Structure 1
Amino acid sequence: MRSTTALRFAAFVLSASFLFATPECATAEELLKARLAQNLGPISGLAIVANAKGIFAKQGLDISVSNFTSGKQCLDTVLGGGADIATTAEAPVTAAAMAQQPIAFVAGMEYSDLKTMTAASAGIKTKADLRGKRIAFTAGTGSEVYTSVLLKAAGLTSKDVTLVNLRPQEMLPAMAAGSIDAFDTWEPHVANAKKALGEGATPLETKGIYSETFNIVVTQSYLAANPAIVTKFLASLIEAEGWLKAHPDEAIDVIAAATGMKRDELAAIWPDYVYRVRLDDKLLATLKTHATWRLETGNHPPGATMPDFSKVLVTAPLKAVDPARVTLEARP
């Protein structure tokens, strides 16, 4: 395995050798084209900034962006051939790995807590108050895992509530119509509900219950055929990370405008988002924890076992850009 990894890394260093020789501003003819399937939310903040600030073009890329409301949709689009690069959470990654899909997880770029919004009329003040309530979640995403962990923390099981599988964009209308009492999801959908419903919506305190990672995933075949694009893409995210941290106020403006959030709403939750391009043991632990949850709950394809994440996590592209960002010590 080590020799294979070493060969992969050597090949990437060679294939990406012209990355750092790219002119500061490449012409349109020189730009490498790629299609990004992006979850349009603050969790994709680095990709949003890289696009808005011209960083992709500076790195020699012409990125066309298709926006979705979940990382599952993004990864499904890549696996279906409709895009080349996905921003996605760990839930779709473990599902794909257990289904033997040939994916390559090349970097994490963000992590943040998922959240619960409740209808004020439901009288939900604590986690225990969720008993008997109708709770919306999105199957196949981190929302499903978060819901499971939240119920466990409340001393409840799925039998104690009514679970309603909805897409994130369907949750606000459902709450407004009175057909659900609470929903579990990510931003900007929580902020959108508060904006639309005002005092009719109340967030439930669940900080620390479950942190979702947001990551960059491609197919193994795309990575093999386009190593320079993947490496340049990661270099773009790293540059965007530096700009975001140096200009937080402007970054909030950029991401709020892209996601349709009010600036003050994003500013209020800005500390919730940790942006850093990396491959580390925390990412690996999250993937393994999520895969364990799938195995324990039966939420996996027939006959699935714990994935061999050494075949899923591919370190060579990020190492070619910044080796210090790869700190995997545990065995995948």
Structure 2
Amino acid sequence: MSTQNTFKRWLPALAFTVTAFGAQADEVTIAYQTTVEPAKVAQADGSYEKATGSKISWRKFESGAEVITAVASGDVQIGYVGSSPLAAAASRALPVQTFLIAAQIGSAEALVVRNGAGIAKPADLVGKKIAVPFVSTTHYSLLAALKHWNISPSQVQIINLRPSEITAAWQRGDIDAAYVWDPALGKAKENGKVLVSSTEVAKWGAPTFDAWIVRKDFAEKNPRFVEQFARVTLKAYADYQANPKAFTSDAARIDKIARITGSKPDEVAALLAGNRYPVASEQAGILATPTVKALTDTSAFLKEQGKVDSVQSSYAAYVNAGFAKAAGK
């Protein structure tokens, strides 16, 4: 699906109003991605259902752009997205709020170059085929990295592929490099090397993050559900951050994360360490000025790159720290 077609599908959905949800949020559809993070254990254990008393339908998506489309249509009420698709959605006035920062992205996302592709340094990327899911955090990071290296996007062949498509293209030898996350990242590393990760790109002034978003209308009708969802997620983050080694030494936890994400069990610990998961005491501070600024800066960059037509005068309305504050009490 092209970026333009994806975003065009949002437009008729902006007027959608949820009418089918009762005050107790009896049934909720939540979009998740294959990102390796601590709360996948809570998802596997049914902790969200136990805490909310609601029936939850978990739907897996391959990219943030796909999640945004589903949220816009009303099919999904809560979704896991990266900062780039979130910024693009906010720029188009999609009625969503960021209520939790899921991960501050580091080495868990990276640009991998295929062995034998003749890429030893950034300059060697010129003329090469680079795959990336469009309007994802990795797309944003790729463009930022190219800008840092003084390489114009027109000097490389950037191909829009979903993670599973990247894996297939990689195995066929159709692409020379890919900027992606696990499990596609792990598969690419098997016969490739990391040229740069999002840890370095963040230091160059283009940090990325993952977030949980909620439709505004759903949040207004079901604030208790959103608060409980945040509480369960933050407990998982706290469990990990308190003692990462103990968390990853639990084979049952590792297996649950691997099963949901499709990652290899022996790679889960390193992938968890590749991001940072803000705990409850940090969320409100991060969700205030830093997140609004990040969305503002990301949107400006996307406009510069021609990925969005316009930007908002303020992105404050797309961030709500209230649920994280309540969950942390």
Whether these two folds match at TM > 0.5 is yes
* Letter aligned with residue 60 of structure 1: T
Counterpart of 2:230 in 1: which secondary structure?
Answer: helix
| Alpha-carbon contact 1:213-1:283 (below 8 Å) kept | no
Q: Does 2:233 correspond to 1:242?
A: no
Aligned ranges for residues 122-141 of structure 1 at < 5 Å?
A: 122-141=117-136
Q: CA deviation at 1:147?
A: 1.3
- CA displacement at 1:31 relative to structure 2: 8.5
The residue aligned with 2:214 is 218
Partner SS for 1:209: helix
Q: Is the 1:32–1:229 Cα contact (8 Å) retained in structure 2?
A: no
Q: 1:265 to 1:47 in 2, by over 3 A?
A: closer
1:319-330 superposed matches below 5 A: 319-322=325-328
Q: Single out whichever of 90-99 and 271-280 deviates more from structure 2.
A: 271-280
Structure 1: segments with no counterpart, 5+ residues:
1-29, 324-332
Q: Deviations over 1:266-288 (max 9, x none)?
A: 22333212112524143233212
Identity between Structure 1 and Structure 2 (%): 25
Residue 56 of structure 1 is matched in structure 2 by 48
Identify the match of residue 146 of structure 2 among 146, 151, 159. 151
Distance 1:186 1:282, change over 3 A: farther
1:24 aligns to what?
none
Task: State the AA in 2 paired with 1:233.
Answer: F
Query: What SS class does the counterpart of residue 201 from structure 2 fall into?
Result: coil
Q: CA deviation at 1:252?
A: 3.3
Distance 1:136 1:307 in 2: 32
2:137 maps to which of 127, 135, 142:
142
Post-superposition Cα deviations, 1:107-150, rounded to whole Å, max 9, x if no partner, equal 11112132012110112122222122111122121122111111
Distance 1:205 1:293, change over 3 A: closer
Take 2:215 and 2:277, find their aligned partners in 1: how far apart are those partners?
23
Matched residues in 2 for 1:271 and 1:95: separation?
A: 28
**C-alpha RMSD of matched pairs (Å):** 2.1
Structure-2 separation of matches of 1:292 and 1:94: 9
Deviation (angstroms), 1:222: 0.8
**Is this contact kept in 2: 1:89–1:142, CA < 8 A?**
yes
The TM-score normalised by the length of structure 2 is 0.80
Q: How much does 1:313 deviate?
A: 0.8
Determine helix, strand or coil for the equivalent of 1:256. Answer: helix
Match of 2:8 in 1: none
Deviations 1:56-109 (A, max 9, x none): 133234322111111221222111111110011111211111111111111111
Secondary structure, aligned partner of 2:74: coil
- Choose the corresponding residue for 1:294, options 291, 299, 302: 302
Structure 1 pair 150/227, CA: closer, same or farther in 2 (3 Å)? same
The count of residues paired between Structure 1 and Structure 2 equals 286
Match for 1:41: what amino acid? T
Q: CA separation in 1, counterparts of 2:290 and 2:254?
A: 26
Q: Mean Cα displacement is larger for which, 143-152 or 201-210?
A: 201-210
| Residues 137-185 of structure 1, C-alpha deviations (whole Å, 9 max, x = no match) | 2212112211111112222111221111111211121122222100111
Instruction: Tell me how far 1:307 sits from its aligned partner.
Output: 4.5
One-letter code aligned to 1:267: A
Specify which of 145, 148, 164 is matched with residue 159 of structure 2: 164
2:258–2:268 Cα contact (<8 Å) kept: yes
Secondary structure in structure 2 of the residue aligned to 1:175: helix
Matches within 5 A, 1:198-213: 198=190, 200-206=191-197, 207-210=199-202, 211-213=207-209
Counterpart position of 2:314: 308
For 1:255, the equivalent position in structure 2 comes to 257
Query: Is residue 32–residue 60 contact of structure 1 (8 Å, CA) maintained in 2?
Result: no
Structure-1-length-normalised TM-score: 0.80
Q: Which one of 83, 87, 100 corresponds to residue 93 of structure 2?
A: 100
CA separation in 2, counterparts of 1:269 and 1:93?
Answer: 23
